[in-house]
Structure 1
């Protein structure tokens, strides 16, 4: 209740103080109630009447046509805005969003999303009148008598907007409640027009006390002493002063009533729950003093009380910082949560038409990121993922039961695995590490590692086949070779042997053949860059000589799995994803994944040939016992599924990889130490092979259809896209003449991705190798070829050889 007015001198002093305070606060207009007018006229009539008056003034004063048109346009918007349905409107006003949740692909719950928002709703009797008085005095001093809007304030805002300013300003508490709960805060004439009509309607549907109580229950009030966001006056009272809202004193109520204008700035606590510095605390304390003055100015407190309260140090009442209880989550929760924040961020930016220029501003981007996270936590969103519940759980059980086979006494060996649908890029399951409780780093999605030789099919052999530089029976040089620095190119201690078939080079994963193949690729058009760039690999320098051995490229497991899925998917790249959809608590779709048009990275013929070669590599078991281990565990699974893949091992056995593809899915696997220290020589060939075989068996037990049992990759011998060439086994090229001599012998079929197929045999028939290497090679192929024959032949052209690059070297030898 208001007190009786003091004497005239006291009134004059107050008016002077009010002028000073108004200048400092730059907010409330002079107090004019307009009670009779607002109680007898509808909001629409009142606002339009005010607009017409201003319209006339603008014309008289020579205002612009644009201003007049803008005001008239706004008036028409108000007239055309329908009054909202009472039941629907009240439901929205009283709607406090439910808990957001994450779902598996089958709709089952992964987890509710933890929120740092503490919200407590209370009835009117549980809220101190001190808070209500403080809020009304500061935010809307005509609240008790207005009809939901103050026409003069609305007109002022519209003129400001027409003149290049903003439509904000002059909002009553009722309008603020409408904006928070129904319309949002987009700055448009239509939203403002709706806000006015809605606010007028709400004053008819609810009492003033009900509107005020709703406002106090839904509004944000900054942070509590645990660093948690708080909403509602009860949470604010408990989190800042340690008491109920009904027990707040006038100084405490004034502090809380001042928070909604800028909750985070005025809050006494930082995001970690610590008290802010004295300088930063001053913002909220100064705001409290403004509220106290408004209480005095509006006759809610006496001058004596005002002087007493404004001199009191409210910071003495702030609770001391405390720790918030933390709920532990796992790898899956965090991956999905982070991706959901990204998708909601994109949604908000698009919804608000934020320009690329604005997003270049770090503060703008940070604000939208924070808003996205807040929305995810607090708006009752449902995030549906691509994760197959049965498969994911089986993978977690497998790492718990068989992760021990990776341990070799060199320290904790961590795994990272991703199972991906080849045709859609959907992540069906993954393993982030041995145990989230002891190591939270996600080895499947975070932190790139050198892929070792597992990169060879993607960056060297795949492009070479695609460019028509080689076929399935091409011969490659494995004679000793050096980098341009003079360093030997080695393979597990071996410095080289002789010429060999592509099959042998791939099965054993020799490094020198991959080196020479990549050098040939580098000389063709743009080299491997278009291939790797299309698949999202980040490679800064394509001239690194050891790049085909894993030097200079560090993919994550999920990215590398996506690369292998591309090769298995007919050469078509589809980016991986883990979120299918995000909907709000009203069922509105915030995000819906739509499969993009696949990008053809490798030709279908290249895919067919490469997958055929990789199937042979798995069964050859030269670098991994995976296939025999799987045969022991589940012979049917081993024989009924077309397994294709490649291993990779970096120097000193720092990283071991096994990439497996079937016609339907790709399973990527990495293992190693977080500190990049060495493992034993059994890490890949034995340990990771056994672990991966058990993982595959567990996945199959959970979903027998996932690996595509009974399905086959395309057969290069029947694929119409593949060219079949009859070539000499010794040269990998068609029979022909070299230096006048017929070159004949055993022939085989070589599969090529280009229409021309294999070339005719030339003296330098292989990929790579020196002149001396060819002299030696021909001595085995055609002993009758004399030294003079070979001498003259070395001056001829080569179909596939390449010289060493002078580019920089990054050492990485691998299997």
Structure 2
């Protein structure tokens, strides 16, 4: 073999060897390429999947608007929390009836042990994440797409959002919104605030009264009898474990008794402690000691819930609270007053108000003085029998502060157990003669139509219209005294014929049958009734409540300024923020002069004692109380069905209605019985609070009152001569002082008074002029 052939063979061998390596390299490179392609596809597929997932997430939350912090505060703070009603001194009247007991406390009043225990058990990565845990999100997405597995793993923040803002549905759309909102919560709240919110809203089973409880404070107090800030480690661990299954883990039954077996709750407590130990929140020693701790000894024994006697006070305050909150809710919804007045709309908001009040942790601050209220209840219990005739008589009373309209106390009835009908605020009865000061006398004086000593006819008269047309107008005891009385005398005797004439003259002068209501009573919120335009209106035909009567007299006692009577001073939330605050809205109804003249004349009503012996009864009971400057007016209706007495001092107005619920007659002594009862009621109030009556204060005539010397025969300017039936005589010069709000007495004339016929005036002139003072001449 030539040298050339040898070289050729070697080349071929090398070529064969290199080809195998070559193919090997090719294979390796192909595999590498395939691997790279595979990895690239996986990355691209993952990216595509992630993109699809993110797009799906964006689609699900696309219609969810990120809330502002203010909106979050409202939503997260919208919790079921126990509300209560309190007296003016903030002592509790009652907790408001609700299914869940809850008290919210600030974060710094919650033990750090509870916070740590909750985080360790519910969300160990709580202080690391921003509201959600990514792997949990991925797990939830896979579960939603494949239908395999669970979408659980909510963070503590998500649990808070789910409980307070979202529903319990299990769709991924809700889960996606939960995640979005959880991240928003984390942006706006500190971790400590989020834990505190969670602990304040979570349910904790039952307390030792058997009541359902929520919020860590109620749990601490209701299970261990300590505040949330005072819990020790095992107590904190037990409470932290309750929210997962509150009723199962609770140590109490629905009657407040300890369960026969509460191992489930104790085992849950041990799990919480282990979670804390695992997270290095507590040491091994602390863990062992807490596990060995005799927690059962700390459980409070069963107690019986106080059966609060809500009675008239609770009902009255709550009725007003419902109306106030219903109105505020409607205003928040921008509902017009016209729409709100519709019955279906009003009832809807009233229902919403009841739910909001019962579950919002409100404190309703009433105006009611605790001691005064109790004294009034004791008085009606001890002296209510004085009102009875042949049968039991009901009663309604109100004590109102004149300058503010605050209702300091009231009596709703004789016995709440027998009848829950509130005769102070709900009962509408004919006003009787007690309406005369505000309806008849004050408007006429305010219009300048008469002074205190002007004269008005009390001669027999007949009705001019209506069903009783042609029938006699009668006083309580007669058909007329056949004379012209002074305005003051007619009020003292509460005669109906003078009131009729004064009212008709006022309407005639004002030019409208509704003028008195429109210009006076409407301003004091008296009901708008057609009966105000009846001829019989001044006799008290319109039906009013005891509250409305009280407010009318309050207006006069307050210098002519109406302050609406009210029971609720404010409503505050659990943090002390004002949800509602009563705002005074004083309305001038009568001039200062008119009001002071009326009080001066109503003082005569009380002091003369013609229609009431209230003052003499008071003096017999308490001389000091009798020294108060009492003014007032009585009222009765036909057959003594209703008996009214309203009295005032410069400080307060105290009212009373008495009668039978079936509107059956009583007897002619009804007024005297009312006066006796009222004397004891006033004394009961005085004994517990001497200052409230204002015995050292006095009604005084306002400086704007005009004082005129008038003839005590005619009420007109004194002096002059008069000719009657061809007889001329000098009018006696005896004078008296008459008080006028505006205008003044006219010169004497034949028809010098209000009402009466020509023959009435002839009769009066003839009988009133002593023969010795006549100067007769024939024409």
TM-score for the superposition, normalised by structure 1? 0.63
Q: For residues 588-609 of structure 1, what are the alpha-carbon distances to aligned partners after superposition, in whole Å with 9 as ceiling and x for unaligned?
A: 211011212x211111101111
Alignment correspondent of 2:665:
678
For residues 383 and 580 of structure 1, the distance between their equivalents in structure 2, rounded to whole angstroms, comes to 8
1:435 paired residue number: 415
Contact kept in structure 2, 1:174 and 1:199, CA below 8 Å: no
Q: Is the 8 A contact 2:730 2:775 kept in 1?
A: no
Deviation sequence 1:481-505 (CA, Å, 0-9, x none): 1112111111234111222222221
Select the residue among 325, 333, 338 that pairs with 1:344.
325
1:734-754: per-residue Cα shift (whole Å, max 9, x none)?
Answer: 023445865342111111000
1:700 aligns with one of 683, 686, 690: 686
Name the counterpart of 1:647.
634
Please list the CA deviations of residues 556-577 of structure 1 after superposition, one character each: whole Å capped at 9, or x if unmatched: 0011100000011111111111
Distance 1:512 1:788, change over 3 A: farther
* Aligned 8 A contact 1:531 1:601 in 2: yes
Given that residues 33 and 146 in structure 1 are in contact (C-alpha distance below 8 angstroms), is that contact kept between their aligned partners in structure 2? no
Per the alignment, residue 16 of structure 2 pairs with: none
Does the CA-based 8 Å contact 1:386-1:427 persist in structure 2? yes
Change over 3 Å in CA distance of 1:502–1:193 after alignment to 2: farther
Structure 1 residue 636 displacement after superposition: 1.5
CA contact under 8 A between 2:629 and 2:697: conserved in structure 1? Answer: yes
Aligned residue among 706, 709, 721 for 1:723: 706
Cα offset for 1:390? 0.9
Alignment of 1:74-153 (within 5 A): 97-116=80-99, 145-146=136-137
| Structure 2 equivalent of residue 510 of structure 1 | 495
1:258 aligned partner: none
Q: C-alpha distance in 1, partners of 2:579/2:138? A: 35
Distance 1:82 1:750 in 2: 64
Match of 2:534 in 1: 544
SS at match of 2:533: coil
- Over 3 Å counting, the alpha-carbon distance change for 1:524 and 1:585 in structure 2 is same
Conserved in 1, the CA contact under 8 Å of 2:94 and 2:308? no
CA distance, structure 1, for counterparts of residue 659 and residue 396 of structure 2: 9
Q: Hey, what does 2:22 align to over in structure 1?
A: none
- 1:726–1:374 CA distance, 2 compared to 1 (3 A): same
- For the 8 Å contact 1:658–1:669, the answer to whether it is kept is yes
Aligned with residue 471 of structure 2, among 487, 499, 506: 487
Superposition deviation, residue 204 in structure 1: 12
Displacement, 1:367? 3.2
Does residue 519 (structure 1) correspond to residue 504 (structure 2)? The answer is yes
Q: Over aligned residues, Cα RMSD in angstroms?
A: 4.6
In 2: Cα distance, 1:214 partner to 1:507 partner: 64
Q: Please say if residues 149 and 174 of structure 1, whose CA atoms lie closer than 8 Å, have aligned partners that are also in contact.
A: no
SS in 2 for 1:412: coil
Instruction: Answer with 369-378 or 413-422: which moved more.
Output: 369-378
How far off is 1:349 after superposition?
A: 2.2
Task: Flag structure 1 segments of 5+ consecutive residues without an equivalent.
Answer: 1-31, 55-70, 124-141, 154-171, 182-190, 220-227, 244-324, 790-815
Output one character per residue of 1:701-757: Cα deviation in whole Å (capped at 9) or x when no partner.
010011111100113xxx320111111000001023445865342111111000x32
Residues 1:665 and 2:652 are matched in the alignment: yes
What SS is found at the alignment partner of 2:414? coil
Residue number among 743, 747, 752 corresponding to 2:731 in the alignment: 743
Q: 2:572 aligns with which of 583, 596, 614?
A: 583
Cα gap change, 1:144 to 1:700, in 2 (>3 Å): farther
**Separation in structure 2 between the aligned mates of residue 659 and residue 149 of structure 1, nearest angstrom:** 73
Which range moved further: 479-488 or 193-202? 193-202
C-alpha separation in 1, matches of 2:754 and 2:71: 79
2:184 to 186, 194, 198: 198
Q: Distance in 1 between matches of 2:592 and 2:648?
A: 16
**Residue matched to 1:252:** none
Q: Secondary structure at the match of 2:610?
A: coil
Check the 8 A contact 2:452/2:488 in 1, yes or no.
yes
| Alpha carbons 2:102, 2:361 under 8 Å: kept | no
What is residue 558 of structure 1 aligned with on the other side?
547
Q: Report what 1:283 is aligned to.
A: none
Q: Structure 2 regions of 5+ residues with no counterpart?
A: 1-45, 104-113, 115-132, 145-157, 168-176, 206-211, 216-242, 255-305
1:348 to 1:196, Cα distance in 2 relative to 1, 3 A = farther
| Distance apart, 1:510 and its partner CA | 1.1
Cα distance in 2 between the residues matched to 1:419 and 1:746: 42
- Larger Rg computed on CA atoms: 2
Aligned residues: 579
Distance 2:52 2:654 in 1: 70
The residue that corresponds to 1:757 in the other structure is 744
- Deviation string 1:367-424 (CA, Å, 9 cap, x unpaired) is 3222211111111110111001111110000000000111111x22011000001111
Aligned partner of residue 751 in structure 1, secondary structure: strand
1:638 is the counterpart of 2:626: yes
Indicate the residue corresponding to 2:382 in structure 1. 401
